Structure 1
Amino acid sequence: MRSMLTGLCALLATALFPAPVSADNPIIQTLFTADPAPLVHNGTVYLYTSHDEEEARNFVMRDWRLYTSTDMVNWTDHGAVASLKTFPWARQDNDAWAPQVIERGGKFYMYVPISVAGSPKNVLAVAVADTPYGPFKDALGHPLIAPARDNIDPTVAIDGDGQAYLYWGNPDLWRVKLNPDMISTAGPIVKMPRLTDYQEGPWFYRRAGHYYMAFASTCCPEGIGYAMSDHATGPWQYKGSIMDHDKRSSGNHPGIIDYKGHSYVFGFNYRFNDAQTREHRERRSVTVTEFHYNKDGTIPMQPWWDTVGVKQLGTIDPFRRVEAETIAWTSASDTSASGAHNWAPGVRTAKGAAGMYVTHVLDGGYIIVRGVDFGTGAGKSFDATIAAATGGGAIDLRLDSLTGPRVATLAVPATGGPETWRTETTPLARTRGVHDVFLVFHGKPGEPLFNFDAWQIGTARGKPRASR
């Protein structure tokens, strides 16, 4: 697979984020992401997204991505789990729009809108996988829902009686029942009565005896509205805005979950695009905020997406392998208003023989992992799995800020190549309690330094672990 990134996707200029960095929204900084579709499964949040390509001005979207978290703050990048190539009968250069994934019977079903070459109309397709990590495979070899102009933004849920429903549409909302196999329909497609302020991006779910239909509200700009019902099939009663229309975002797309006793709404904004260029380009960034339902089940109005993010649920155990692509925040700068690239410092993520890893590491770049629990101070070493064609790079481990205490510095030697992996170790100063970890990279300015696969805190000094 080609590199996940063609660039670190227009992050804000470093000057906008003086150390220590406290902003954790948008939650993905290594890529432009949109159309968040969170799924809670076995104690983990699986966040599926669409992906705006770096060169996009209008919508340029070719694959679907996955990020996971168990604390809502640190997100692990799993790369593309499906793409237009998953559906070889579809148009291959564009139109990988908003997905949603649901589990049933131990399998995972991804519903996506795509287009067929030579047709101005979209179809809905379905892919299936044995795990939430994919890879997803075309389940039918043809569309699930035949071409129509309204066929975008599928959302799916299974009612308490086992009946699954698929909703979708812009500017109208449509509904059909799914058979238990989740890849065929039962009965007619029904056009729903027009909902107040409805535009697109429906998100259908059931909670505490209520049925909800959240959606992107009338364009443009779009906010997030919602309706409620006593039945999975409606009728739907408009309840108002979850987030008001805001000129800072021409689009929006809700995804709503409960996780570990908290309620969250995901969406997106254009913050990173706007930091890079004054030109409005369809390059979006997924965001999240926590909210609390009212006693009657209604949802209070939320402020526009802020930069603070949500509170962390739990901590990271550094005594077990931590993937380098597990990130709360990472750095880059691009001060060009034209959109031309001038990256420094920064990191990218890629996929190769080692699985996902951090690449294009530059001098001065950094990764923040929040809420790392060092316990009572048993850690003796900082171990990192790296690959480098040439030596001379280094990783500083600092606590709580870019200028916080430096508790380890690991020199990165030449390992024989950019995918010749070796685990190096260095002493760790006595470190106790819970800290935000700043992994800060150093080396020859302006040149990619090394690739970075994982890190861990060791409890006994000794020889480096065996190479990969």
Structure 2
Amino acid sequence: MRTGNPIISNLFTADPTVLAWNDTVYLYTGHDEAAYPSATYVMKDWLCFSSKDLATWTAGPHRLKATDFLWAQGDAYASKVIHHKGKFYWYVSVTHSTIEGKAIGVAVANDPLGPFTDARGSALITGHDIHTIDSTGQNFDPTVLVDDNGSAYLFWGKDMCYYAQLGEDMISLQSAVRKISLPGFMEGAHLHKRGEWYYLSYGYGSPEKVGYAMSRSIHGPWEFKGILNELAGNCETNRPAILPFRGKDYFFYHNGGLKDGGSHRRSVCLDYLYYNDDGTMKRVIMTSEGVRPLY
């Protein structure tokens, strides 16, 4: 059994999103395929892995391709998978084939391992849905939270953070798109809730650290709390995923730690996350050893 970081060592993975279901952790990642030493992103699909002990990760039988969304040109950027009312929803960022720029789609499955299929047959968010000077480049890196009352919210963005409430069907918008002003926001948003606090973590600055903000309401105001994760080794980006599992809290991220790795050949890593008594998060200590296997 291999332990330590990166947790997937036979290929390049990035932009983790995680889900705990029936005592198993499901890890969904982007897939970097750029040949060394290319400095261009080549990302055609997303991968799924599962583990019961956080040490042995088994590849799932299905991949979701950007072109499985027939309206998409390609580019499998950061994503988010959630479970809601018996179904699994995979929110993704792709390049649209007929509307200029990036767009957000959503796929659905009855099993966390898939197969996932396009839930709408069209984009959930395009550049037409936001009104900025560069609306074509803003629809990156979706994250979704289902609140305690069952309401679901979608957050996303590049250089500016946007959010909207999802409809009960999870594949439509129920509210107008709103903006959130956050210090140093670049991309890679991740949203989670613990107790009465909402946490919004994201790629901060360039090259990216992970910063985070907290709020008592999903609608804000959001108070910036500082840096959660320092620069990841040999990589200019970072995208966090946070998971409570079996009494501990875990922090997934990516770096350029494998041989020939780098900003365009990244690798998902896993370390512990700890909270202070006031609810703030302690800065993550990135390690080569990673986390201890669960038995």
TM > 0.5 between the two?
A: yes
2:260 maps to which residue?
276
Alignment-mate amino acid for residue 104 of structure 2: L
Count of matched residue positions in the alignment of Structure 1 and Structure 2: 285
Q: 1:98 to 1:246 in 2, by over 3 A?
A: closer
2:242 maps to which residue?
256
Q: TM-score, normalization: structure 1?
A: 0.59
In structure 2, distance between residues paired with 1:222 and 1:202? 12
Alignment-mate amino acid for residue 182 of structure 1: M
CA contact (8 A) 2:236 2:263 kept: no
In structure 1, distance between residues paired with 2:257 and 2:102? 29
How far off is 1:30 after superposition?
1.3
Deviations 1:360-403 (A, max 9, x none): xxxxxxxxxxxxxxxxxxxxxxxxxxxxxxxxxxxxxxxxxxxx
Unpaired runs of at least 5, structure 1: 1-20, 315-468
Q: 2:72 aligns with which of 86, 90, 93?
A: 90
Q: How does 1:171-210 map to 2 (within 5 A)?
A: 171-192=159-180, 194-210=181-197
Q: How does 1:29-428 map to 2 (within 5 A)?
A: 29-55=9-35, 57-92=39-74, 95-117=75-97, 120-147=100-127, 148-192=136-180, 194-219=181-206, 221-245=207-231, 248-272=234-258, 275-276=259-260, 280=262, 282-303=264-285, 305-314=286-295
Alignment-mate amino acid for residue 61 of structure 1: M
How far off is 1:80 after superposition?
4.0
CA contact (8 A) 1:32 1:285 kept: yes
How far off is 1:73 after superposition?
1.0
Corresponding residue SS for 1:276: coil
Alignment-mate amino acid for residue 84 of structure 1: A
Corresponding residue SS for 1:153: coil
How far off is 1:119 after superposition?
5.0
In structure 2, distance between residues paired with 1:138 and 1:121? 19
How far off is 1:247 after superposition?
6.5
Q: TM-score, normalization: structure 2?
A: 0.92
Superposition RMSD in Å = 1.7
Work out which of the two has the higher radius of gyration on C-alpha atoms and give 1 or 2: 1
Alignment-mate amino acid for residue 140 of structure 1: R
CA contact (8 A) 1:217 1:245 kept: no
How far off is 1:250 after superposition?
0.6
Q: 1:143 to 1:289 in 2, by over 3 A?
A: same
How far off is 1:79 after superposition?
4.7
Corresponding residue SS for 2:265: coil
Deviations 1:270-314 (A, max 9, x none): 011xx337xx550000001012211111111123x3210101111
